Amino acid sequence: MRRRFAAASALGLAALLGGLVNGSASAIDALDKKNPESIECTDGYEFHESLGACTSDNGDGTWSVVFPDGSVHSVAEPAPIDESQFVASGEFATVAAAARYPDINAPERMTACRDTGQYRFVALYMNRQGHANNLTTVRTQIRKALKRANYLVHDETQRSSNNNKKANLDFRCNPENTQPAVRYGGAVPTRSFAQAVTVAKANGFNHPREKYVIFGDYLDPQGSYCGWGDSTADDRRIVNNKNNGGTGSSTYALTFKNCWDWRTPLHEMIHMLGGVQSSAPEAISGHTHVGSDVMYASGNGHPNDEPDQCAHMRLDCGKNTYFDANPSAGSYLATHWNIGWDANRYINIY
């Protein structure tokens, strides 16, 4: 059995994708409005069930994607993740599962809390139409996943800064500011990424400064993916980077039910924050070929695939691709977009 991550890259690439935005009919030939995923795609496009959209291979490791509502995305090629990432078996048998992929016993750290109108993540729970709303039951599980993800961000910030900096992910919190809030995003008619985004928007979750972390209480319709997430190709080291709230539009990520551990939501959040840029060292198709990394894509076809560079699951194992709180002068992350830069609007680095 294999599971896959896939990350969307590039919401708002109207300029790059040209006529697709204004003429999505160039990709969608027919659409039954009563069934938003009964799509017939034009030549050159194929319907992708998990995305719920018409897709076309760009030939550069990405796909052009047109949602039923006409919005245009660009997604990285699906990146398979071996089951050995989740259990001590196969090629990773020499590394204990709890050390390599901590989950149940992973430390937790409370996120930072941000008010309406500020740059922040917002956690959403979504279920299928006609199925139970289990938010009350699973809220604690979701909060634990978010706080474990936050712990890793903090830990990597301390490691890379020689303990001179700390960090917290910026989230919408409960009224007491004691837990990250988990809002109800709505019920989806089908299980695709497109429908999760469409329903969330319709329910008011579309603030331009917010990034929505969706926990879907359902499995991937293809049975192959852990999640999807928006991201933009922009490697500039500027505060108004498109991944740093610079597009003026909200972005979204979806994690399917079987992957509600901390790694998958964090993997998708890193995509929404701009990881991994194609210009970065050790990057491949929006991921990295360095193992034991939150953004690792096994089976990526890279000739220098390194499945065990780090002994434990890390955020940017080599500190040279997408995250370093204290990059060396002249290095890639000192001169390009760096999620560990203290100008990141969605991580409070101090």
Give the HSE-up count for residue 201: Cα atoms under 13 Å, Cβ half-sphere: 14
| Beta strand 283-284 pairing with 79-82 | unpaired
**79 to 29, 254, 284, 320: CA distances (angstroms):** 28, 15, 10, 20
Q: Model confidence over 170-190: pLDDT tens digits? A: 999 999 999 999 999 999 999
| pLDDT greater at residue 348 or residue 309 | 348
What is the per-residue DSSP string for 177-222?
A: SSSB-EEEEEEESSSSHHHHHHHHHHTT---TTEEEEEEESS--TT
Element (H, E) at 156: helix 135-160
Q: Which amino acid is at 346?
A: Y
Q: Which residues contact 15 (CB under 8 A, 6 or more apart)?
A: none
- How would residue 84 be classed by pLDDT, with cut points 50, 70 and 90? very low
pLDDT at 324: 98
Q: State the pLDDT at residue 250.
A: 81
| Joined tokens for residue 25 | 């009919």
Q: Determine the Cα–Cα distance for residues 340 and 117; give it in Å rounded to an integer.
A: 23
Residue 256 structural domain: 2-349
> Residue 272 CB: number of other CB atoms within 10 A?
25
Q: Using one digit for the tens of pLDDT, what is the confidence trace for 37-61?
A: 567 888 788 888 888 988 888 665 5
HEC profile of 216-253: ECCCCCCCCEEEEECCCCCCECCCCCHHHCCCCCCEEE
Q: Is the pLDDT of residue 78 over 70?
A: no
Cβ–Cβ < 8 Å for 343, 315: no
Average pLDDT, the chain: 80
Nearest 5 degrees, angle CA 183-CA 78-CA 21?
70
Count structural domains, the chain: 1
Of 60-74, 190-204, 231-245, 274-288, which gets the smallest average pLDDT?
60-74
Residue 27: which pLDDT band, with cuts at 50, 70 and 90? low
Q: In sequence order, what are the beta bridge partners of 81? A: 3
R_g (Cα) of the chain, nearest Å: 19
Chain centroid to Cα 262, Å, comes to 12
What is the residue whose two structure tokens read 């659409």? 31
Res 6 pLDDT > 50: no
